[in-house]
Chains A and B, each alone.
Chain A
């Protein structure tokens, strides 16, 4: 409401600016025209200036005389041609102008403003918003907050550790690279971080193992020769360089050392199949997908189990995700592992115990799964 009041006030002020001279003219007109400058005044002043210059000895007498004549001529001409102002005010036109101001001006203002403006939106200065309750916190906003925190405290290694994978998942690969770099700086070296950095570099380059990325994997390998991720990508680098045999050798090594339930076995196997099969095409995407399709039943099961394990791991770190817990429980049920399902259930209860709202959601979800109790 205040806004419309302000608008009205402004409009009135604008209308007043147009009406003021129209209304005032009647009274002050004589004085107005008298005060107004004219060419005559300028030429008179030029004449005075010549006198001053002459007195100061800046110009010679004959020059001054010539200039005086010239300006005198202009003065006469100007005095002749000076238009006499009409005393007779054209009331008709003044009324038209007044109507224009009273009707036209608000009309134009409204016609232009209404399609462009958003009068119903309030201001949102930052200071006010921090206090605003119930604001939906999207993932992006949370990331922004963490970034802000890190901007002020760039030495917070843990922060970078948390931020980096999130950025990568959001597709902000370049930022992820930076975050991993900072994480390395402030948390110290580790094979895992090096290979994470390499992976982000590779993602940023659109899937190509660049020299930078390769250097990171090599460093990771040097730190821990068993680091499976580094080894896998070193194999990929070899493949992209066209050294298929090397790639196959590396991957075979990875598989040999891999624990039997490692979730990534399937991937390495399919990659191995790709190069081992001697297929000439270096293309990646189609072949990988095809490999996944042709996977044996057991391999596919391993892949699913891998996914489930990752979910479980994530929830261990961050237990707030009710949907995640529900998915996990359901997954265990589907896989027939009721013990694990029950374990997950109690874990979930513990994780959300402090939050009545989430607990309610969880219980409802469980009811829907038919797993009450």
Chain B
């Protein structure tokens, strides 16, 4: 083989591997990426049942119900819409009502979000990134979010008087 042929072999091989990699990446990007939605976006977009996506929002206070054998249901809210979620398994340590949560799964035929993963990867002062962004966008964000998990921003402050007065 001449020097030129050798070089062509190597360059040809490299291009083949790169083409393979590009094909793999494009294929994987089409099939395996997961979009992020909030309940409002779900309501607007009419996501088809069975399509996997990530649902983020706040766990609606009072909505958590434990069933038999680790089945749980709760609602995820983002201020303007709510979506029921069903999950079977152990919830993470940091899962709390009124706190941010991200669940991955798909809608079933009846419109319930069947989650196979629930993430609450945050401490008291940290929100999952997606949730924080989405809430900010909808104007439900408060800077002191970390300080108090404040799920329904509708009625606040009014209780200042009663607390004092009854005490």
Contacts and interface: CB of A to CB of B under 8 A. Distances in A.
Contacts of A288: 158, 161-162
Contacts of A248: none
Contacts of B162: 232-233, 236, 267, 271, 288
B157 A207 contact: yes
A28 B159 CA distance: 83
Query: Which of B62, B124, B156, B166 has its CB near the most chain A CB atoms (within 10 A)?
Result: B166
B157 A263 contact: no
A212 B155 contact: no
Contact of B148 (A204, A271, A303): A204
Interface string A200-231: 00111111101110000000000000001100
Given A267-B161, A267-B166, A284-B155, A212 B97 contact: yes
Interface in B9-24: none
A229 to B, nearest CB: 5
Contact of B165 (A174, A282, A306): A306
B165 A240 contact: no
Contacts of A292: 161
A203 B161 contact: no
A7 to B, nearest CB: 38
A202 B124 CA distance: 18
Contacts of A266: 165
A205 B150 contact: yes
B149 interface: yes
Contacts of B166: 199, 228-229, 232, 264, 267
B152 interface: yes
Given A174-B124, A310-B167, A204 B161 contact: no
B: contact size bracket: 20 to 34
The B interface, classified by DSSP as helix, strand, loop or mixed, is: loop
Contacts of A283: 155, 158
B148 A206 contact: yes
B165 A199 contact: no
A172 B167 CA distance: 17
Contacts of A310: 164, 167
B158 A211 contact: no
A134 to B, nearest CB: 32
Given A206-B156, A212-B62, A288-B158, A199 B163 contact: yes
A205 B124 CA distance: 15
B161 A210 contact: no
Contacts of B148: 173-174, 204, 206
A285 interface: yes
Contact of A207 (B147, B155, B167): B155
Contacts of A165: 167
Interface string B96-107: 011000000000
Nearest to A201: B61
Contacts of B154: 208
Which has the most chain B C-beta neighbours within 10 Å: A171, A203, A271, A284?
Answer: A284
A173 to B, nearest CB: 6
Given A174-B124, A292-B161, A303-B165, A207 B62 contact: no
Given A206-B148, A236-B162, A211 B156 contact: no
Nearest to B64: A211
B155 A210 contact: no
Interface string A308-321: 00100000000000
Contacts of B86: none
B155 A206 contact: yes
A211 B152 contact: no
A263 B166 CA distance: 7
27 contacts: A165-B167, A171-B147, A172-B147, A174-B124, A174-B147, A199-B163, A199-B166, A203-B163, A204-B148, A206-B152, A206-B153, A208-B61, A210-B97, A211-B61, A212-B61, A212-B97, A229-B166, A232-B162, A232-B166, A233-B162, A267-B162, A267-B165, A283-B158, A285-B158, A306-B165, A310-B164, A310-B167
Given A206-B151, A208-B151, A285-B156, 14 more contacts: A174-B149, A205-B98, A206-B152, A206-B157, A207-B156, A207-B157, A210-B97, A211-B61, A228-B166, A229-B167, A233-B162, A267-B166, A283-B155, A288-B162
Interface of B: 61-62, 97-98, 124, 147-159, 161-167
The 3 nearest A-B residue pairs measured at CB: A211-B62, A284-B158, A285-B158
